[in-house]
A and B are shown apart, each in its own frame.
Chain A
Amino acid sequence: MATEHIEAHEESHPGPRQYVIIGIILVVITGIEVGLFYIEANAALIVWLLILSSLAKFLIVVGFFMHLKFDDRRFALLFFFPLLIMVSLVVVLMALFSTLTR
C-alpha cells in the first residue's frame, strides 16, 4: 500500500469554503432540532425526528470534519465497528431494563 494513495485523497479534501458551508448546515440542523422541541405534536414523531437529526449531524461531522468520507476505509472500520457494538448494547440494555416498553 503506497503512500501516494493517501495523498491522492488529500487532494479531494474540501476547502475552507466547503467547511464553512458544512458548519452552517450543522447550525441549521441544530436550529431545526430546537424548533422541533417546542412543537406540540405526536411524541413518537418528534422523538424520531430528533434522533434522526442528531444522527445526521453525527455523520456530517465524522464524514467531513474528521475526513472519514475521504480517508482510508480502514479508519472507518476502526470507528464504526465499536459504534455498531455500542449501539446494539444500548438497545439491548434498554430492552432488558424494559425502558423501551415502560
Chain B
Amino acid sequence: MVALANIGLIPRPVHPTGVWSWLTTVDHKRIGLLYGFTALAFSILGGIESLIIRAQLAAPNQSIVSPETYNSLFTMHGTTMVFMVVMPAGAAFFNYMVPLQIGARDVAFPRLNAFSYWVFLFGALLMNFSFFVGAFPDIGWFGYAPLTTNEYTTTGATDYWLLGLQVMGIGSLAAGFNFAVTILNLRAPGMTLMRMPLFTWMTLIVAFLLILAFPPLTIALTFLLFDRFFDMNFFNVSAGADPLLWQHLFWIFGHPEVYVLILPAMGIVSDVLPTFSRKPLFGYPMIVFAGIVIGFLGFGVWAHHMFTTGLGGWASAAFAGSTMVIAVPTGVKLFNWLGTMWGGSLRFKTPMLFAVGFIAMFLLGGLSGVMHAVVPVDTQQQDTYFIVAHFHYVLVGGSIFGLMAGLYYWWPKMTGRMLSERLGKWHFWLMFAGFNITFFPMHFLGVIGMPRRIYTYDADQGWAALNALVSAGSLVLTFSVLLLLVNLAISLRRGEKAGDNPWEAPSLEWATSSPPHHYNFAVVPTVRSRYPLWDEEANVVEPPPLPPHEEPHMPSPSYWPLMLAFSIVMLAVGLLIWQWHALIGIGFIVVMMVLGLRSIYGWVYEPPAVEAPAAVHAHT
C-alpha cells in the first residue's frame, strides 16, 4: 500500500502563461481576476434579464414574454445577481486585496482558494445550463418549498437550480474557511487586529458569516433534493410537514447572506473615505465593532422576512425588536463615515464619488428597511414594489456602488493603469441618476399597490406612467454601465501609468508595485501603525526588485483543485442523469466519486514545488 503515497507524484504544472497557467493557478491575484471577470460576465447576463423584465413592464398589457418566461426571468435575475455577481465581485476584491493589505505573500491555502473559484464557476454554469435543456428555473431566488417540490413544479429546471446552488455553496464555504485563517494567521509582523484596514476586517466578518450561514442552506437544499429525487417527506404537507420549514431554514441563511453582500462594500467605503479625505477613519474601533455586531445579530432577525406567515404575537414582536436593533450599528457606521469626511481635505475622484453615493443610497435603503421592522407596515408592503425598491437600494445603491468605488480605487493597483476620470465622472453621475430614476418610483408603485412578480397589469390600474419612467431609468443605468466597460477597455489599451500609490493611500497594498509581483512583497514589511504609508512617509525604503534566483518561493500551480471541483459538479450532473436513467446515473456518480477521491489523494501527496523545496509551503 506504499503505492498509495506515490499516486500524487504527477509533476506539478509549470506553465507561466497561457490557458493552462490560468486553469492551474493558485496565485490569489489571478484567482481574484478570475472572480472579477466571471462576475462581470454574469452581470451582463443578469442585466439583460432585468432589461427584458423592464421592457415587458414598460407599458400595460404587453406580451413581449410569456408569464412563464417572466417567472424564469425574475428568478434568474435575482439568483444571478446575488450568487454570481455581487458575491464573486466581493470575492474578487478580497482575493486580490486581502493578502496585499495584510502584507502576506498569498492566502493560507492557495490550492483551496483555486478550488473555491472553480467549484463556484462550475455551479453557476450548471445552473445556467438548464437553459439548454428546456427551461430556466422559475421558482424565485428563494425557491420556497413546498412550491418547489415535484407536485407544484412543471419542469426539471428546479433541479438545476438547487444542484447549482448546492455546488456554489461548497465554494463559498471553502472561501470562508480560507479567508478566516488567512486574516487571522498571515498578517505581517506588527499588524495587530486593530491595525488592519477596514476592508480586511469586513472580509474577516464575511468569512465567518459564510462559514456559519451556508450549512443551514446546504441542509435545506439537501432536504429539497431528497424530496424531489427520492420522494421523501420534508416538505410534503399531506404527510404532516410544516410549510414554513423551508422559509425558516432559507432565511436563517438568507439574512446573514444579505450582510455577506453588503459588508465588503462597507469595508471598501471605509478604506476609500480616509484616503480621499486625507484623514484617519473617524471612530475606527466603533466601525469594527459595529461590523461584528451586525454579523452576530444577522443570525437573529431572519423571521422578519416572514411576518405575514402568522408567526404569532410574541415571535413577531421579538423579531421586530431585533430588526430595529440591527439598524443601530448600521447607523453608527453612517455617522462615522460622515465624521471621517468632516473637516478633511476632500478630493472628489471617482472612487470617492461612488463612496459618497454609497452612503446616501445605502441610507435610503436602510431607512425603508427599518420601516419593515414595524409589523403592520410590513404587512401592508409585503410582496409589493416597495420591497423591490428597498432591496435594490441596499444591493445596488449599497453593494454595487461600494464595489464600483472599489473597482475605481483598486483598478490602478491591479492593472498598473489609471481609469479616465472624465469617463468615470460621467459613469458615476449617469449611474446615480439612472439608478434613482429606476428604483425610486418603485417606492410609490408599491404604496399604490403594485405587487411583485406580476408579468403585466391593466391600464386603468394607474401604474403605467411610473412603470414607463422606471423602464426609461433602466436604460440610463445600462448606458452608464456601458461607459464603464469603455473606460476599462481604454484604460487597458492606453491608460496613464499608475505608479505604486496613485491615490496617496495609507494601507499596505500600495506599498508594492502596480500590478504587484507574483510574490507581492520582496521583503515583508513590518507594521507599526494603522496607516503605515502615511505614518512612515518620512523613512520610505524602497526594497530593490529581486533577481530571479532570490525571489521568494511561491506555491506551484496545481491541477487538482480544478479536477476536484470538476468531479464535484459532475456528481450533481450524475444525479440529473439518474433522473433519466438510474443505472447510468449511478455508474456515472461512482466514476466521479473515484475521480474525486483520486483528486484528493493527488492534492494531499502532491510534491510541494516544481524544483526547489519551497519552504513557503511548510506552513500551509
Chain A 58-102 interface mask (CB, 8 Å, partner B; 1/0): 000000000000000010000000100100110001011100000
Contact status B212-A85, CB under 8 Å: yes
Tell me which residues across on chain B come within 8 A of A74, comparing CB atoms: 184
What total of A-B pairs shows CB separation below 8 Å?
Answer: 18
Minimum CB–CB distance from B188 to chain A (whole Å) comes to 14
Tell me which residues across on chain B come within 8 A of A95, comparing CB atoms: 315
Contact of A82 among B212, B242, B248 (CB under 8 A): B212
Q: How far is it, in angstroms, between the C-alpha of A90 and the C-alpha of B212 when the chains are bound?
A: 14
Give the contacts of B241-274 with A (CB-CB under 8 A).
242, 244, 248, 252
Determine whether B311 belongs to the interface, using a CB cutoff of 8 Å to chain A. Answer: yes
Contact status A89-B315, CB under 8 Å: no
Contact status A89-B299, CB under 8 Å: yes
Range of interface residues on A (Cβ < 8 Å): under 10
Determine whether B26 belongs to the interface, using a CB cutoff of 8 Å to chain A. Answer: no
Chain B 255-297 interface mask (CB, 8 Å, partner A; 1/0): 0000000000000000000000000000000000000000000
Tell me which residues across on chain A come within 8 A of B244, comparing CB atoms: 97
Contact status B248-A93, CB under 8 Å: yes
Chain A 9-53 interface mask (CB, 8 Å, partner B; 1/0): 000000000000000000000000000000000000000000000
Minimum CB–CB distance from A89 to chain B (whole Å) comes to 6
Give the contacts of B278-329 with A (CB-CB under 8 A).
299-300, 303, 311, 315
Q: Closest residue to A74 on the B side, CB-wise?
A: B184
Q: How far is it, in angstroms, between the C-alpha of A74 and the C-alpha of B193 when the chains are bound?
A: 14
Tell me which residues across on chain A come within 8 A of B303, comparing CB atoms: 96
Q: How far is it, in angstroms, between the C-alpha of A27 and the C-alpha of B248 when the chains are bound?
A: 37
Q: Closest residue to B213 on the A side, CB-wise?
A: A85
Give the contacts of B213-240 with A (CB-CB under 8 A).
216
Q: Closest residue to A82 on the B side, CB-wise?
A: B212
Minimum CB–CB distance from B361 to chain A (whole Å) comes to 31
Contact status B252-A89, CB under 8 Å: yes
Minimum CB–CB distance from A2 to chain B (whole Å) comes to 13
Tell me which residues across on chain A come within 8 A of B184, comparing CB atoms: 74
Minimum CB–CB distance from B106 to chain A (whole Å) comes to 21
Minimum CB–CB distance from A69 to chain B (whole Å) comes to 21
Q: How far is it, in angstroms, between the C-alpha of A95 and the C-alpha of B315 when the chains are bound?
A: 9
Tell me which residues across on chain B come within 8 A of A88, comparing CB atoms: 299-300
Q: How far is it, in angstroms, between the C-alpha of A96 and the C-alpha of B245 when the chains are bound?
A: 10
Q: How far is it, in angstroms, between the C-alpha of A89 and the C-alpha of B216 when the chains are bound?
A: 11
Q: How far is it, in angstroms, between the C-alpha of A82 and the C-alpha of B299 when the chains are bound?
A: 11
Contact status B248-A85, CB under 8 Å: no
Contact of B242 among A85, A89, A97 (CB under 8 A): A97
Q: How far is it, in angstroms, between the C-alpha of A96 and the C-alpha of B300 when the chains are bound?
A: 13
Minimum CB–CB distance from A57 to chain B (whole Å) comes to 23
CB contact under 8 A between A85 and B299, given known A93-B248, A97-B242: yes
Contact status B248-A96, CB under 8 Å: yes
Q: How far is it, in angstroms, between the C-alpha of A47 and the C-alpha of B133 when the chains are bound?
A: 53
Contact status A96-B315, CB under 8 Å: yes
Q: How far is it, in angstroms, between the C-alpha of A80 and the C-alpha of B212 when the chains are bound?
A: 12
Tell me which residues across on chain B come within 8 A of A97, comparing CB atoms: 242, 244
Tell me which residues across on chain A come within 8 A of B216, comparing CB atoms: 89
Minimum CB–CB distance from B117 to chain A (whole Å) comes to 24
Minimum CB–CB distance from A101 to chain B (whole Å) comes to 11
Contact of A96 among B211, B299, B311 (CB under 8 A): B311
Q: How far is it, in angstroms, between the C-alpha of A97 and the C-alpha of B240 when the chains are bound?
A: 13
Tell me which residues across on chain A come within 8 A of B211, comparing CB atoms: 82
Tell me which residues across on chain B come within 8 A of A93, comparing CB atoms: 248
Tell me which residues across on chain A come within 8 A of B242, comparing CB atoms: 97
Q: Closest residue to B180 on the A side, CB-wise?
A: A78
Q: How far is it, in angstroms, between the C-alpha of A88 and the C-alpha of B216 when the chains are bound?
A: 14
Q: How far is it, in angstroms, between the C-alpha of A96 and the C-alpha of B318 when the chains are bound?
A: 11
Q: Closest residue to A85 on the B side, CB-wise?
A: B299
Q: Closest residue to B216 on the A side, CB-wise?
A: A89
Q: Closest residue to A93 on the B side, CB-wise?
A: B248
Question: Which residue, of B184, B216, B244, B248, has the highest number of chain A Cβ atoms within 10 A?
Answer: B248
Tell me which residues across on chain B come within 8 A of A89, comparing CB atoms: 216, 252, 299
Q: How far is it, in angstroms, between the C-alpha of A95 and the C-alpha of B248 when the chains are bound?
A: 12
Q: Closest residue to A78 on the B side, CB-wise?
A: B180
Tell me which residues across on chain B come within 8 A of A96, comparing CB atoms: 248, 303, 311, 315
Q: How far is it, in angstroms, between the C-alpha of A27 and the C-alpha of B262 when the chains are bound?
A: 49
Minimum CB–CB distance from B305 to chain A (whole Å) comes to 13
Q: How far is it, in angstroms, between the C-alpha of A89 and the C-alpha of B244 when the chains are bound?
A: 15
Q: Closest residue to B184 on the A side, CB-wise?
A: A74
Q: Closest residue to B252 on the A side, CB-wise?
A: A89
Minimum CB–CB distance from A100 to chain B (whole Å) comes to 12
Minimum CB–CB distance from B297 to chain A (whole Å) comes to 11
Minimum CB–CB distance from A98 to chain B (whole Å) comes to 9
Chain B 170-204 interface mask (CB, 8 Å, partner A; 1/0): 00000000000000100000000000000000000
Q: How far is it, in angstroms, between the C-alpha of A82 and the C-alpha of B180 when the chains are bound?
A: 14
Using CB atoms and an 8 Å cutoff, list the residues of chain B in contact with chain A.
184, 211-212, 216, 242, 244, 248, 252, 299-300, 303, 311, 315
Can you show 8 pairs from A to B with CB atoms below 8 A apart? A74-B184, A85-B299, A88-B299, A89-B216, A89-B252, A96-B303, A96-B311, A97-B242
| Apart from A85-B212, A96-B311, A96-B315: 15 A-B pairs, beta carbons within 8 A | A74-B184, A82-B211, A82-B212, A85-B299, A88-B299, A88-B300, A89-B216, A89-B252, A89-B299, A93-B248, A95-B315, A96-B248, A96-B303, A97-B242, A97-B244
- List 9 tightest A-B contacts by C-beta distance, closest first: A85-B299, A82-B212, A96-B315, A85-B212, A93-B248, A97-B242, A89-B252, A96-B311, A96-B248
